[in-house]
Structure 1
Amino acid sequence: MSAPNTTPATGSVLANLLGVLGMSGIAGVLVAAMVTPLIAVLGVTANSSIKLFEDLPSYLEIGALQQKTELYANQGGQPVKFAEFYAQNRESVSYDQISPNLVNAAVATEDPRFYEHGGVDVISAARAMLMSVMSDSGAGASTITMQYVRNVRVQTAENIPDPTEREIAYEQATEVNTGRKLQEMRLAIGVDKEYSKEEILQGYLNIALFGGTIYGVESAAQYYFGKSAADVTLPEAASLIAMVQEPNAYRLDIEENIPNNQVRRDYVLMRMLDEGKITQEEHDEAVATPVTPNITPSNHGCQNAGGNAQYFCDYVRNVVLNNAAFGETQQERSFNLQTKGYQIYTTLDLDLQDSAQATMNANVPATSDALQLGSGATMVEAGTGKIKAMVQNTTFNETDQTAPGETSVNYNTDYDYGGSTGFQVGSTYKIFTLAEWLATGHSLNSAVNGANRAFNLIDFKDSCNGSDGGTWSPGNDGGQKVGNITALQATVQSVNTAYVAMAQQLDQCRIRDTAMALGAHRADGQMNESNPAAILGTNQIAPLSMATAVAGLANNGISCSPIAIESITLSDEAKTAVDVPPSTCQQAVSSDTAAGVNSAMQAVVSGGTASASNTGTGIPMTGKTGSTDDYIQTWMVGATTKVGLAVWVGNVEGNVSLMSLGMNTIRHTLFRNIMTTAMGMYGGDAFTPPGASATKPDMATIPDLAGQTTEQAQATLEGLGFSVAIGNPVSSAHPAGTVASTLPSANTSVQTGTTVTINPSSGVPEANNIAMPDLAGMTSAEAQSALSAAGFSSGTILEHPEASSTVPAGQIIRSDPPAGSQVSSSSDVRIYVSTG
């Protein structure tokens, strides 16, 4: 094949003349002269007509073309495009990225004297202007430069965000009359002065419409033939240029258009032959080639996004639409997303995303005859807030025609970012109560009374909203019953009653604030509820928020708000950077508190309710299960030091028990498989061990309750973290029914969770009261003899070891009741024996 000819014909008298005098200047003079008689017909003098033409604007401001926005994710360490948005599907390319076949086809067909004139073909224009005056059509004789001017003016109109202003500007740019044609001529002459022929051709071929929303030769070549504009063959180039005259009539993605396109294509090839751009042999071979398009749709919109990332794509779109960094109004932000040519590099890891989606597809069906089943899983990087994976069990469909198992609602995100109002998180919310428990000086080894009972709601402090009255009798999963239990045991076994007892000693408002500081906020945009029931997970929260919270705990208490966008550049030559909303990191809880919570959550995975989620890889991880009553919603959340993961499986609507369907353990399979993959990719280190304050037993001093009612005394003791038992009445000077004494006695410092026995007063002195002997310094055996000698008969002697720096080991430090007190001969006696 001979080399394509892209230069103007030599030997042309007109070309040589314009070369000497300057094509654009000559064109201006000739057009002005040409306009004179035509305007004279309209009743305007010759001098006025020339002045009118000269007064028209000569400078055309060529702004940026609309470009498509492209979304990229990471795959194998490289950015991979998985979605795009556009109003005009255009990818601008440089002149040397356009096949000479396209250039020659355009010039030969649309403007054979392109290289000879100064923007306006005077002879053709004069003929067209005369016809225009006679018909008032204003059409015809448009050179490539004039077409370019018209397209630029249309593009300028279409770049206006306001739809009303855009429509007005568009009508002005496209109205058919002599005035517009004159203005196009004047502007074309100015463009020809300002730009080289190659620059004009490059602009023209990048701006032209090729049917539908396809603009520019690069996008047209990619869409219609699946190749770049640099690689199209001669017949393909002719088919593309054939569309320029009437894009929607000749577009190749409509099968009925193909014969018409071929007719127009063959005309383009004939013009190329006539103009000496191709040989007869090349012409004949191209004409004999059938028009065979290879339609290659783009990933336009989230519904067509690749990489199993349709819901994540929708989240990114909503990030742009909701953030003022991308425009003052949502309308402007939406317009910018489709026209600015953002190159958005997201945080998504496509390798992890593909694996997570495969796990989801294998374990959670999109539909179920028994319930409207939903599931979501999101992973966030600790320390950065970067969303690494976001998967769902349904198919993304944002059209009005959705089938079962299809929805546009993103279960993983808040309402403003995907349409979901979240789901009750159950016992996963206990980690926030535990954080506040540790932050207020309690420890993992602090004991509480986990017995089933009615709690008085007035006893729960809530500095946000105040306390309510009434009683509440929460139960445990499976009817589990416990007594005194440590906070660590309560976490490992997820004991509701113990956690309610813990919360009774805390400010419910602070529990709420701790959750929200870590990122676990309600998905509907409201403040978290702070009533006592909230500690068992009644707030409706999205998986993304719970993943953020556990990642924050894993990051030594520093929680980083989730981000989906790492960086954005424009698709201009300079790759101009665009500011993106950053992740905001804050010390949500102290590092000591986080270490304590993480330690407890590690125990949950290693031997507690989350054992089924243990990956068995040996990489340290935390975890916490959660479920609502009857397993309507089920959760598993946890983290390594690198990533946090939240998995939800439950009812989108309705209240069908997942346990009754055998689906209550699916969350563990999802969590285990996704986390195992993440561990292989990101690893994980040992968690910071908790300090002494998080593991020391809580100590509290028993107050002097003598004379109070037993109900008052019980409430006081339980508020301090003690369990309470009511002993037998004893005689005392206090009124009957009030407290006579406690065991251990008043002003004694003992570990919280200890059972304190209240001895009510009988109010009637007994004749057999005796004085308590002084047992200090005695051994246990000597004490028993002394008590027997003093007249103690049926009481029980209880030994309690206690460290002492002054009393030798094995000797009694003190007794309860204390020495010298009057007590019944049948009273129990507790002796404190020194351990040295």
Structure 2
Amino acid sequence: MVSNGTNGINGTGVTPLRSFGGVVGGLIGLVATSAIAGLLVTASLTPVVALTGVATTSTINVFETLPDYLEIEPLAQRSNIYASRSDGSPVLLATLYDQNRVEVGWDDIGQNVKDAAIAGEDPRFYEHGGVDLQGTVRGALTTAFKGSVQGGSSITQQYVKNVLVQKCEMLPTEEEISDCYAAATVTTASRKLKEMRMAIGVEKKYAKNDILRQYLNIAGFGGRVYGIEAAAAYYYGTTAAGLTVAQAASLVAIVNNPGKFRLDRPASEANGAANGYQDNRERRDYILGEMLRYGKITQAEFDEAIAAPVEPTINEPSTGCQTAGSNAYFCDYVIHMLASDPVFGADEETRIKHIRRGGLSVYTTLDLDLQDAAVRTLNENVPKSLAGWDVGAVISSVEVGSGRVLAMAQNKDYSQDPEVQAAGNNWSSVNYNTDFATGGSRGFQPGSTYKVFTLAEWLSTGHSVDERVDSAPRSAWGTFNDSCLGPQNYDSEGWSPKNDANESGGNYSALESTIGSINTGFIGMAKRLDLCGIRKMAEAFGMHRADGEPLSQSASAVIGTNEVAPLSMAVAFAGIANNGVTCSPIVIDRMIGADGTEVPIPTSRCAQSVSPDVDHQMVAALSQVMTRGTAVQSNISTEPRVPMFGKTGTTDGAKDTWMSGASSKVATVVGVVTVTGNANQRARNFESGPAATARHRMWPDVMSVANAKYGGDPFPGVSVIPPPEEESSDDGDEDFDDDTDQDPQDQDDSDEND
């Protein structure tokens, strides 16, 4: 934004000597300006006047054809993103803006500011009709004879110019902005005439106090600071209502020439702290003198203000998700959701501008009690970086029945600065919890947690948990039915998946395979099913590849080789906990516009993934995973106790390890992953203990907070959940080496992630 003042536009403070030609040119300008001044008196005060002189008549005709209506659009304001505490109180996560502005009402602006603005910029503001003729003539005379000052613009004229520049800055392209700005600020008589005409129109439509209020809201205060409220917060850590006389005068001084008089220059710069902000002080003291002259302050107040040093206390506003600290990845996900949802605009560019300029208050679903627990346990159990292993760790929690994302954390520090990221792999801009399209990675293999979808298809097609299948390990599995791609033959490919503890497989039931996470048991189940049906079942629970490609439906996909986002798995487990109804994730509870009205937000889409009866059978089987299966370690440490179910998962070579589960209220997924390269977690240790069991140390920490806060109801069909029989060592009954011999038909087994 720009603003005309009465102290010149060249910013040098030096009045050069004028040549004869310059004086003549100035006198010509004076005559033209004086004609305009006389015209304006006539145009604004006398409807019909007989004027003589061709030049003046021509000027009147030109003036009368100019538009006098100024369409005033909403000001660009900063948007805030909030989380919430247990008591419901909002906590600011981040602020986003192109222009750091908070628009405020008349009563929120202190009288010191109003008086300083009028005394310093337009002493006859309440007397003229939009154009200060006395100031205009004085400015013209000074320009004619000195050549250094083009002042005399009233506050209303300055406001008009700022509105026109504001409109420029809202245009879509830099080229359009530049062209518009040049037209709005060019020093020509026609532009000045148009500005005056519009100023008179503004005065006819709006009350003086409204004009002054909006002038103080729109004015630029240096850099990206706009409006008196943001300026007060930025330069002095206070509000527009709380500024002292001296502070108010210093801020109003900036409006006259933001580049020259701003107060945030480093000490090394000439007009900065090194010389006590001398330029600002001189302008401030002039304004204070004018305030005294016009009776806005007493002599005692003047003396006190003049004696006060110019001492700003710069308060950098939080801008962008990097200021959200440990909540930055969730914040980043919120921004991506705002930018991608048509609810917020027709295209991404429109949505981003709306976010950064719309003055929105975005109240998110993030539960800081759960989030703090997730961050704390990650910090305690998994390092941000480790020599020889690019280790990642993730936690996502979703509310059952609503899709609200309650927690989202990872073991890295957030930064989008390439130089910072290059300093070490403890920094990342990639959100390991989410899809690639929403700022995440290309996904991770979930291992045996994916088996729940084969279990769902098994039960949906009429099989029971007690039904047994031939599940002995072998190298020739024969032909699998696939109604979408045709029969898939595994006789001659040499695909020979094994079980972690070398279980024989034998004749396991579906329940036994679920409790012990028997790979060959689930492959045996898949032999009696349709691979396409298993894939569609996973999709029904919201599963999709993190990179946007279709899910693989090969035999190896049954035991978890599709790369998916942890949040997607949390959504699926929330669906299992919700009687088989899966709800898409949402991150915004409500959004308030700059005018205080509710803004429409995306809602969760819920759909029945499996019948309630099938779902109850799934929960009954998965509950026993917690009490006598591979998830015992997570169960015994979770307090208070509520009914829960879960499933563990480990990928080939113990590269990634998972614990996924839910109560009837909250679903949580915890994973320790290898971001790039390979690492066998069974051969690595953290300070907190074995890497392979870190998930069982973290999952209970988060679910204990969830259980205490949200509680948990018994699941239908699961009458009593007994306590765990004994603590598992995680060495003999886990599902490591899910896919020791990769399926050659599966092209999605790559261990590379972004």
User: Which TM bucket (shorter chain)?
Assistant: 0.7 to 0.9
State how far apart, in whole Å, the 1-side matches of 2:390 and 2:48 are: 77
Aligned residue in 1 for 2:733: none
Aligned residue in 1 for 2:322: 303
CA contact (8 A) 1:139 1:176 kept: no
Question: Post-superposition shift, 1:690?
Answer: 6.4
Tell me the amino acid that sits aligned with residue 111 of structure 2: P
**Distance 1:377-1:24 versus aligned 2 partners, 3 A rule:** farther
1:251 and 2:272 equivalent?
no
State how far apart, in whole Å, the 2-side matches of 1:469 and 1:133 are: 94
**Distance 1:616-1:350 versus aligned 2 partners, 3 A rule:** closer
1:160 and 2:166 equivalent?
no
Aligned residue in 1 for 2:61: 51
Question: Post-superposition shift, 1:679?
Answer: 0.8
Question: Post-superposition shift, 1:130?
Answer: 6.2
State how far apart, in whole Å, the 2-side matches of 1:683 and 1:339 are: 40
Query: Residue 674 of structure 1: SS of its match in structure 2?
Result: helix
CA contact (8 A) 1:270 1:283 kept: yes
Question: Post-superposition shift, 1:625?
Answer: 0.4
Aligned residue in 2 for 1:290: 309
State how far apart, in whole Å, the 2-side matches of 1:456 and 1:641 are: 38
1:355 and 2:392 equivalent?
no
Aligned residue in 2 for 1:173: 184
The partner residue of 1:396 within 414, 417, 428 is 414
Tell me the amino acid that sits aligned with residue 678 of structure 1: A
Tell me the amino acid that sits aligned with residue 475 of structure 2: A
Question: Post-superposition shift, 1:128?
Answer: 3.3
> Superposition RMSD on alpha carbons, in Å?
2.3
Query: Residue 422 of structure 1: SS of its match in structure 2?
Result: coil
1:447 and 2:468 equivalent?
yes
CA contact (8 A) 2:480 2:489 kept: no
Tell me the amino acid that sits aligned with residue 655 of structure 1: N
State how far apart, in whole Å, the 1-side matches of 2:59 and 2:40 are: 18
Question: Post-superposition shift, 1:292?
Answer: 2.3
The partner residue of 2:712 within 684, 687, 694 is 684
Tell me the amino acid that sits aligned with residue 395 of structure 1: D
Gaps of 5+ in 1: 1-22, 692-836
CA contact (8 A) 1:410 1:418 kept: yes
Aligned residue in 2 for 1:338: 356
**Distance 1:549-1:136 versus aligned 2 partners, 3 A rule:** farther
User: 1:205-239, CA deviations, whole angstroms, 9 ceiling, x for partnerless residues?
Assistant: 00001111111011111111111111111111112
Question: Post-superposition shift, 1:251?
Answer: 2.2
CA contact (8 A) 2:233 2:239 kept: yes
CA contact (8 A) 2:482 2:488 kept: no
1:460 and 2:488 equivalent?
no
Question: Post-superposition shift, 1:26?
Answer: 4.4
The partner residue of 1:313 within 331, 347, 361 is 331
State how far apart, in whole Å, the 1-side matches of 2:109 and 2:634 are: 56
Aligned length: 659
CA contact (8 A) 2:44 2:129 kept: no
Aligned residue in 1 for 2:496: 473
Question: Post-superposition shift, 1:479?
Answer: 2.4
Task: Please list, as runs of the form range in 1=range in 2, the aligned pairs for 1:728-767 lying within 5 A after superposition.
Answer: none
**Distance 1:132-1:59 versus aligned 2 partners, 3 A rule:** farther
The partner residue of 2:458 within 437, 441, 449 is 437
Query: Residue 419 of structure 1: SS of its match in structure 2?
Result: coil
Tell me the amino acid that sits aligned with residue 339 of structure 1: R
State how far apart, in whole Å, the 2-side matches of 1:168 and 1:621 are: 63
The partner residue of 1:275 within 284, 291, 294 is 294
1:613 and 2:634 equivalent?
yes
Aligned residue in 2 for 1:28: 43
Question: Post-superposition shift, 1:462?
Answer: 1.2
State how far apart, in whole Å, the 2-side matches of 1:400 and 1:502 are: 48
The partner residue of 1:487 within 510, 526, 530 is 510
1:385 and 2:393 equivalent?
no
Tell me the amino acid that sits aligned with residue 60 of structure 1: L
1:324 and 2:338 equivalent?
no
State how far apart, in whole Å, the 2-side matches of 1:209 and 1:24 are: 31
**Distance 1:24-1:503 versus aligned 2 partners, 3 A rule:** farther
Task: Please list, as runs of the form range in 1=range in 2, the aligned pairs for 1:324-723 lying within 5 A after superposition.
Answer: 324-401=342-419, 402=421, 403-404=423-424, 405-457=426-478, 459-471=479-491, 472-572=495-595, 575-614=596-635, 615-661=638-684, 662-689=690-717
Which structure has the greater CA radius of gyration? Answer: 1
User: 1:644-678, CA deviations, whole angstroms, 9 ceiling, x for partnerless residues?
Assistant: 11111110011111111030111111111011111
State how far apart, in whole Å, the 1-side matches of 2:155 and 2:143 are: 19
State how far apart, in whole Å, the 2-side matches of 1:164 and 1:134 are: 37
The TM-score with structure 1 as length reference comes to 0.76
Query: Residue 642 of structure 2: SS of its match in structure 1?
Result: coil
State how far apart, in whole Å, the 1-side matches of 2:524 and 2:290 are: 90
Aligned residue in 1 for 2:747: none
Aligned residue in 2 for 1:221: 232
Over the matched positions of the two proteins, sequence identity in percent amounts to 46
**Distance 1:131-1:292 versus aligned 2 partners, 3 A rule:** closer
CA contact (8 A) 1:30 1:122 kept: no
Query: Residue 219 of structure 1: SS of its match in structure 2?
Result: helix
State how far apart, in whole Å, the 2-side matches of 1:466 and 1:249 are: 74
CA contact (8 A) 2:577 2:619 kept: yes
Tell me the amino acid that sits aligned with residue 688 of structure 1: P
**Distance 1:618-1:46 versus aligned 2 partners, 3 A rule:** closer
**Distance 1:581-1:136 versus aligned 2 partners, 3 A rule:** farther
User: 1:325-362, CA deviations, whole angstroms, 9 ceiling, x for partnerless residues?
Assistant: 22222122111111112221111112221221111111
User: 1:397-424, CA deviations, whole angstroms, 9 ceiling, x for partnerless residues?
Assistant: 0122223211110000000111311100
CA contact (8 A) 2:464 2:510 kept: yes
CA contact (8 A) 2:221 2:254 kept: yes
State how far apart, in whole Å, the 2-side matches of 1:134 and 1:239 are: 30
State how far apart, in whole Å, the 1-side matches of 2:334 and 2:281 are: 42
Question: Post-superposition shift, 1:460?
Answer: 0.7
Gaps of 5+ in 2: 1-37, 685-689, 720-754
Question: Post-superposition shift, 1:449?
Answer: 2.3
Tell me the amino acid that sits aligned with residue 390 of structure 1: M
User: 1:501-551, CA deviations, whole angstroms, 9 ceiling, x for partnerless residues?
Assistant: 011101011111111111121101111100000011000011110000000
